[in-house]
Amino acid sequence: MKKQWIISAILILSLIFGLSQVAAEEPVNPWPVLELEGMKVSLRPLDEEGRHQAYFGPDNSYSGAGAYKPAKVISARALFQEGQYILVDMDYRTAGRRCVYFRYSSLNKANSIEMLNPEAYPAVTTTFLMPLLGPGNDYSTVVQTTPSKYEGLSLAELASLFGGSYEIMEALKAERNTIVLDQGTDVSVFFETSNGWVFAEFSCDLGRIRAWLPAEFISAK
């Protein structure tokens, strides 16, 4: 009897252990995990004041993500191509590091970049989050720049309101507000990186954009 009890106990433990192994191997989230090595590229040369327009998504219906001078690019790597737009991981002299989309025609050496058509998976934020422009804390936050409400005034009008030149310059500065997503914000996740960031699309004060969020605070729906 004792021997049968021991055998039964071993079988039960084996079954429990086997089920736990299966559960551990099941993916936590439905979206894929990708490694993005990319390839080195550069922005095509323009005249001294020329800039290449970037976007927060792979077509010009997305919000603009700034305009950039080729001479100020410290480094740039093309991560992948969607249609006629390429996601570029760029370090820019006056703006820091960021991943933004450029038109195919804006880049040199863009003829062998990996094509990607990522599937969107519905998800939701589980806390307040500040989107970043890349998969890591060394990337810039997403900000909304609002022109000064005094921008259209004449110099005489500005002088009557503020007096000195320093005060006028301060009044004309654009406001830069960091974008924050509320808890419970709906997002569409495309993929996750091995260091724990998801590339996602969502709506905010800038409109419809794509940016990066910490995966631990994103839950699949």
Q: How far apart are CA 82 and CA 121, in angstroms?
A: 17
Count CB-CB contacts under 10 A for residue 128: 12
What pTM value is reported for the model? 0.78
Q: How far apart are CA 37 and CA 80, in angstroms?
A: 9
The pLDDT of residue 26 is above 70: no
Q: How far apart are CA 29 and CA 43, in angstroms?
A: 36
pLDDT, position 17:
41
pLDDT tens profile 162-201: 777 766 566 555 566 799 999 999 999 999 999 999 999 9
Indicate the range of 39-43, 47-51, 129-133 predicted with least confidence.
47-51
pLDDT tens profile 100-136: 999 999 998 767 888 999 999 999 999 999 999 999 9
The pLDDT of residue 70 is above 90: yes
